[in-house]
């Protein structure tokens, strides 16, 4: 029998050729739920700032799968026992870790389903697939939910140094062209091992970890919390706020996407459970539904919705101004008046309600490394595991364990 027909090869600009053996994993990749990730961009609106950052959650999922294959192979070579079932379970959990994401940005997910949490949705989908595949995801689900005895398998899926982050940092850095965010994933994977049941990093990998944490920080500063990305996210949020506002006033515009209409009119909550109906609609939703709706709204009767939507499509974004917490409040007052005047000048409604769709106050938050909750452990020469910030040979890492909070305003460019 021909072995070459027992696996499939994906070609990836970052990891090269990715070999996936036939079986449950390839079947899952071919499933409509995962194919749907091809239609959701990994960086949401990031491509509006970084033109080539157009990669999908699907290519990230395949990339993470490959890193998972590499690290599990390395761990086995270092004499950690990992059964075939555990290997498959871990790889499935890695592949599906993000399957619960909705279209575009995180913000949007919450406009669709109240009390939403994408990990809860991922789990719900995994359970659905488990039923469909006759229990083949049992181990994957236990690992994903941290109910599997070998804790290190869960740590590979969810921790401060999980496979997900390694792939997305590398991938986002690659496609944005922000070389400062590039992570030495191979060195990290090579120096990972299991020690007393937990994932640790061998001492020779310590500088790769230092670089990883710094890269993470720099990706937040330069990409994820880039001024223009924040402003695009804010605009998207405002559009959906406006639709909600119109719905409350019984003026809901036509919504060309059936599933999106469901969420915007039903306003379902995930607090108690994710129903089959919610799941089915959610699985039909991708970036296309949002774009087609916004395109349609750009010709809506409501002047504000039409204006916001047109701005979005043609990239006439608002401006982001960082400020201190104290000054933010003060500026907000100033900006309200100026926005009102500007709207008037533009022939748009300019009452307080209307102004609120053109002015947003928020704060960005990033944390390069949280040492209290989920530490990264370094294995030193005496075979002792030491928390990373204590093992590092200078004290500059400690400063990185504090979250960075930056208040900001998003407002019309014209008012400054």
Q: Could you tell me where the DSSP H helices lie in 203-356?
A: 206-219, 227-248, 258-266, 276-283, 287-297, 303-313, 325-345, 352-356
Nearer to a second copy by Cβ, of 107 and 186: the residue is: 186
C-alpha closest to that of 103 among 112, 95, 94, 91:
112
23 part of the interface to a second copy, by CB under 8 A: no
The one among 70, 97, 190, 216 contacting a second copy by CB under 8 A = 190
3-state class of 365 per DSSP?
strand
Q: Which two tokens stand for residue 411?
A: 């407002």
Nearer to a second copy by Cβ, of 2 and 351: the residue is: 2
The one among 186, 198, 328, 356 contacting a second copy by CB under 8 A = 186
Site string for a second copy, 3-22 (x = CB under 8 A): xx----xxxxxx-xx-x---
47 part of the interface to a second copy, by CB under 8 A: yes
Count of residues making up the chain: 416
Q: Please identify, among the stretches 113-121, 180-188, 235-243, 329-337, the one whose residues bind a second copy according to the rule CB under 8 A.
A: 180-188
Report the DSSP beta bridge partners of residue 269. 114
The one among 177, 301, 327, 330 contacting a second copy by CB under 8 A = 177
Site for a second copy in 78-117 (CB under 8 A): 78-79
Q: Are 61 and 18 in contact (CB under 8 A)?
A: no
249 part of the interface to a second copy, by CB under 8 A: no
Site for a second copy in 280-299 (CB under 8 A): 284, 286-289, 291-292, 295-296
For the bound state, the minimum distance from the C-beta of residue 353 to a second copy, rounded and expressed in Å, comes to 28
Distance, in Å, from the CA atom of 163 to the CA atom of 168, rounded to the nearest integer, reads 9
DSSP string covering 328-364, please?
Answer: HHHHHHHHHHHHHHHHHHTTS--SHHHHHTSEEEEEE
The one among 51, 135, 267, 325 contacting a second copy by CB under 8 A = 51
Site for a second copy in 307-326 (CB under 8 A): 313-315
Distance, in Å, from the CA atom of 337 to the CA atom of 410, rounded to the nearest integer, reads 14
For the bound state, the minimum distance from the C-beta of residue 117 to a second copy, rounded and expressed in Å, comes to 26
Q: How many helices (H) and strands (E) in the chain?
A: 20, 9
Nearer to a second copy by Cβ, of 140 and 208: the residue is: 208
Nearer to a second copy by Cβ, of 162 and 287: the residue is: 287
For the bound state, the minimum distance from the C-beta of residue 406 to a second copy, rounded and expressed in Å, comes to 8
Rounded (to 5) percent helix, strand, coil in the chain: 55, 10, 30
């Amino acid at each position: 029998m021909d072995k070459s027909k027992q696996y499939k090869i994906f070609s990836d600009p970052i990891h090269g050729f990715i070999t996936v053996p036939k079986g449950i994993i390839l079947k899952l990749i071919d499933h409509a739920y995962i194919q749907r990730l091809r239609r959701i961009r990994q960086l949401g609106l990031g491509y509006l700032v970084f033109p080539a950052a157009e990669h999908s959650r699907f290519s990230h999922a395949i990339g993470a799968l490959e890193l998972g294959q590499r690290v599990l192979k390395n761990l086995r070579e270092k004499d950690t026992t990992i059964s075939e079932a555990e290997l498959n379970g871990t790889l499935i959990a890695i592949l599906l870790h993000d399957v619960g994401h909705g279209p575009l940005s995180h913000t949007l997910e919450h406009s669709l389903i109240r009390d939403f949490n994408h990990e809860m949705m991922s789990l719900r989908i995994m359970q659905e697939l488990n039923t469909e595949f006759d229990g083949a995801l049992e181990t994957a689900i236990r690992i994903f939910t941290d109910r599997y005895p070998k804790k290190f398998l869960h740590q590979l899926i969810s921790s401060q140094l999980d496979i997900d982050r390694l792939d997305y940092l590398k991938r986002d850095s690659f496609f944005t062209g922000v070389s400062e965010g590039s992570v030495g994933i191979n060195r990290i994977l090579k120096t990972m091992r299991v020690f007393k049941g937990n994932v640790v990093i061998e001492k020779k990998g310590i500088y790769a970890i230092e670089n990883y944490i710094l890269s993470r920080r720099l990706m937040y500063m330069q990409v994820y919390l880039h001024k223009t990305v924040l402003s695009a996210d804010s605009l998207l949020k405002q559009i959906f706020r406006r639709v909600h506002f119109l719905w409350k006033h019984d003026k809901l515009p036509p919504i060309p996407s059936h599933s999106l209409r469901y969420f915007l009119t039903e306003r379902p909550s995930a607090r108690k459970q994710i129903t089959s109906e919610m799941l089915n609609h959610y699985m039909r939703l991708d970036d296309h539904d949002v774009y087609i709706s916004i395109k349609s709204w750009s010709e809506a009767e409501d002047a504000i919705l039409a204006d916001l939507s047109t701005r979005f499509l043609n990239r006439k974004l608002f401006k982001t101004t960082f400020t201190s917490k104290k000054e933010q409040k003060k500026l907000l007052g100033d900006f309200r008046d100026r926005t009102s005047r500007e709207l008037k000048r533009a022939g748009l409604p300019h009452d307080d309600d209307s102004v609120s769709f053109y002015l947003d106050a928020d704060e960005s938050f990033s944390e390069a490394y949280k040492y209290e909750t989920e530490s990264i452990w370094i294995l030193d020469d005496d075979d002792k595991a030491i928390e990373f910030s204590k093992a590092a040979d200078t004290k500059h890492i400690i400063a990185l364990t504090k979250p960075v909070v930056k208040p900001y305003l998003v407002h019309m460019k014209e008012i400054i």
